[in-house]
Structure 1
Amino acid sequence: MPQDESARTMRIDIHPDFFGESLARKKQDAAFLGQSHDSTSVVARARSWRMSADYERLLQSIYDGVLITDLKGRILDFNDRAVDFFLCPEAELYGRHVIGLISGADESLMDAIRRNLENHRHTLIEAHCVRRDKTMFPAEIAVNRIDLDGEGQLCFFIRDITVRKKEQAALEAAIAKLEEHDRSRTMFVSNVSHELRTPLTSMIYAVSNLLKGVCGPVPERVRRYLEILDGDSRRLLNTVNDILDLRKIESNTLTLAKTRVPLGRLVKRSVDSLFVQAERKMLKLSVSDCGGNWFVDCDPLKMERVVLNVVGNAIKFTPEGGVVDVVIDEHPYRPGHVRIICVDNGIGIPAEALPRVTERYFTVGEQPSGCGLGLAISKEIVEMHGGAISIASPPPGCEKGTAVTITLPTAAPPTVLLVDDDRSVLSLLQEQVRSRGYGVITAETGMEALEKISAFRPDLVVLDLVLPGMDGTEVVLKMRSEKELARIPVIVVTGAGVSRAKAEILAGFSIPALAKPWQEDDLIDKIENAFLG
């Protein structure tokens, strides 16, 4: 019997005894239908109360059926509404026990009511009431204590809730039907999205290889078409992924595969894939990181899609010859946070639409472009990373355009273990890696490298293959054989004359190689790509 303490109401649900299975139920039915008893004194008490015109008017004016009983539950008086409810002559109601009118009730109900009233609480019962012809109707019964003659009585207010129950059942059926339709829709969208994603991924892979010249030199005109195909395929794949992520967000099953990544590289890599789209509209697209080295703890694939959505929208809604600038800088008012700001001089967003642009399925304009998911899902993903998205249109100090600001908390720089037995090479590596904001530890032998990997758990290892004692290949094999070390990415530095066997080992583990002498940009590219995946 759950209690609502704030309303001081005890609620009781009684399961109806539809089949009259209990012996007590059968005895109560027999009594209700005609067992003789002396009700003369009961009728006399009721008539004495009804001598008051106010009492009679009040009793008959109440919308609910009213039963007044003594403290044991014997019926003393009632209104006409109660007579109509139970289809019972007045003479048969006087002196009857109230539990004979409630299907499934027994004396424990009266005990509960009396205990509850002693604690000055109301009692609300939901049950099925029994008419004289043994039919039933669902009822809500409120019980209070009154005192009409100094002896104390119970007042049962009975409300027929047949219509409410029918409407509730119809509503529940409608909800169940809608839920079934929603499950079917979700399953259909999910299946279609998966069916689209597989060929799109293959198409992007094939086009990417063609652009790399895997099948030979690509004529400039063909390259142009391939670049368009590559860009459009990636945008379509991005939309498919948005739909799949929306389903996960709605079911609270979206997860993040977080790792610390260089934010500048992540943003630039994302924007680079949009340059062809910008060139088709003759837009000036630029990216600047203001010389900072910021790292964030994020899911790189999902954060790249956020950047693609935001910058892609800017390109879409900026007229030919316009400008789209992407700037990464330190947040001026929130220490420990970095901003990605995308500013365009496009058509902007109407003031009345601005508060809704991050809502799911919301689109702007009479002939909207897109499905209205990109910004909504981007907002969800950014907030899952502890960040925020804000939109201004026009940007401060501008007459038109839009500025979208993504704010993210920064993370501590990843640590890189540099391994080389040549101290001059090691010094050069340290200088180049530290200049990009990474933490650095060093080792000069394979054995020392393994000791420091176990002790410090670096985020990346840059490893010379030729080392005294244990060489770089052995270090790689030992790392990959230990579960806790196997996931640490490795970049090997190679000179001339690497044996075929070692080369095959490295290729088997998909370990990127950097040839001596290297260019600093090549080293940083490999490091940043290792973190971005």
Structure 2
Amino acid sequence: MALLKVMGRKNLIWQVIALAVVPIFLAILTLLVSRGFAETEALRGDVIRSYESRSRLQRILSLHQDIETGQRGFALTSDRRFLEPYEAAGSALDRAFRGLSASELAGASAAADLSALRQASQRKRAFADDVVRLTQQGRADQARRLVGAGRGKGLMDEIRTVIARMDRHEQAQLAARTASVVEARDRLKSRSLSLQLMLVLLLALAAAIALRQARERNAALRRIEDLAARQEAIFDGAKDGMIVLNPSGGIESFNPAAARMFGYDDGDLQRRDVGILFDAAPDRGVVETFLKRLRARRGTASTEFQEFMGRRKDGAVFPAEVSISPVQLPDDVRFLAILRDISERKEVDRMKTEFVSTVSHELRTPLTSIAGSLGLVAGGAAGTVPPSVARLVEIARSNCARLIRLINDILDIEKIEAGRMTFDLRPLALAPLLAQAVEANKAYAAEQDATLFLGPVREDAVVLGDEDRLMQVLTNLLSNAAKFSPPGGAVRIAVTPNGTFWRVSITDEGPGIPEAFQSRIFTKFAQADSSDTRQKGGTGLGLSIVREIVARLGGSVQFETQAGQGTTFHVDLPPPVAARPAKVDEPLGRLDGKGLPLILHVDDDPDMLRVVAELFEGRGQVHSTPSMVEARASLRRYVFDAVILDIGMEDGNGLDLIPAVRENGDSAVIVFTAQETESPRLGEADAVLIKSRVALERLVEDVLRLARDGQATEGRM
């Protein structure tokens, strides 16, 4: 029993000792680890300081290079634009030297090196000032001789030498400090090992946790390396060009496909502005502003491909598509631009269009002859035809008519896409037009066992349109509705006001449009895939033609459908412009006694049209149009005091309207465009204003002044 008590007392002592020693060892270990962290943090501070000091030194070298470039460029060209980087670098150098002190630099000679650098900088700047002053005084030859003597280069070499020496001192000091920390860390490791042997249980647990963490870290590292390798392979092997941009529009990297596309070698585009790849480089800040907007809306909208004209290294221009997407990195955002050279596709489209046009035209003549001949045979021109032959002739006539309709539709689509379809725009009353359309399609509807019903149409339902083209739109919609109506079904036509527009609604009682087909209904050759729809026949071009014609008339087309209950197509057509009487002896700018000038604004940007119209509110009557076709029609019918033209329209060049304006009278012509072009046609305008360079208030003032004064004699602005 006594032995047990002694053993128990000993165990208790060991327990007390263990309880007392473990905290001591843990405290010592904590102290050692804390010291190691402190040394590591100090090393981190030294690294940051060294990096900042070296960065400032490189900044000073870069600014001297800017001074060198500026004074050399100004001496050689006398172009004052070279003074901009020269003067900016001079003021920046003062700030850079103020941010650099000897106490932050490493090495015993830091103060002497810094003093030598300041003196060399002063000599270099004094030399550059002499060159600039001589050039400004008109002694450019003397300035060039001074530059050619090589003293400026010698001063730059002196600056580079001093900065290189200071940089080496920084590297050596940082390497020595790093070695010291590594040695201290090794000592800490050996001391910690003796403590860890006394705390085997704790270390076993820590080792297990550390092992698990190491495995997870290695697995994550392997996944990251694998992902990086895959991404690099995709980036380098992609057929599309890929360019990584920084937020200011500078090129950070590009793949081989982009290099081949633009004809540059590796490294040629590094840190260059992306505008170098454009045929017409955007203004400074435009790309950066676009990237900021793209960054702001990332995650809410995807960026689609947009066309632009690219410029290769050799100056060749080619069409390309570009899509830009933001890429979130841990420290910042970068932008990935994906580019495609679409030269071949454009050429294929052109060849396809020419082929379709040629084949269609070549087929139209013989098919017309065939249709006429079959009609004569069916009409008895060749004598009585047996019933069996008559049936064959009717089949041939029907299929010939289908081929003619197909060719006509193809030609219409080709004309629309090529911008060659002409429109004779004039005010049209809808009541007689719709009555004519119903009468023209009544026979076809009867063949389909459908009946056309025209509702009452108000007398004031007048739209601006082309009678033939609107009849084509109505015929397509009415025949389509009749074709898909059930036996004995009705097709109803209604006219209702829709804001300032008039809406023509055509409703059938058919099966409706399948949901999977609704997104493609207005595309070319689009037909639903169901057998009930396929057996109706048709070219699949009718609705595409309808949409294109209505769009070019300044309207829109939509549809509502419900399975088993029919479909309604809504065509919204614009009202005519309030007619202005022909010019009389009253002063320019008078209209209906209001004393406001009448202004035609032609621009394919709807936002710009709305903004300009609001700016002229109460000061002028603005007729806005996004279409060259509608603009020509308006110029044929009305006299305007002033015409505002954009150049890059979707359906043509706005400058082509100038002759029509001049034929109309003494209307003032103001070109308001984003394109800084050197077209000789600009000389025919009374004023040329560049968007983003001229305030909109300036546009309003110039337009009103020119409208009041008649055709202005002031030159280009």
TM-score, scaled to structure 1 = 0.44
| Higher relative contact order structure (alpha carbons within 8 Å, sequence separation ≥ 6) | 1
What's the TM-score, normalizing by structure 2?
A: 0.34
Q: Report the structure, 1 or 2, having the larger strand content.
A: 1
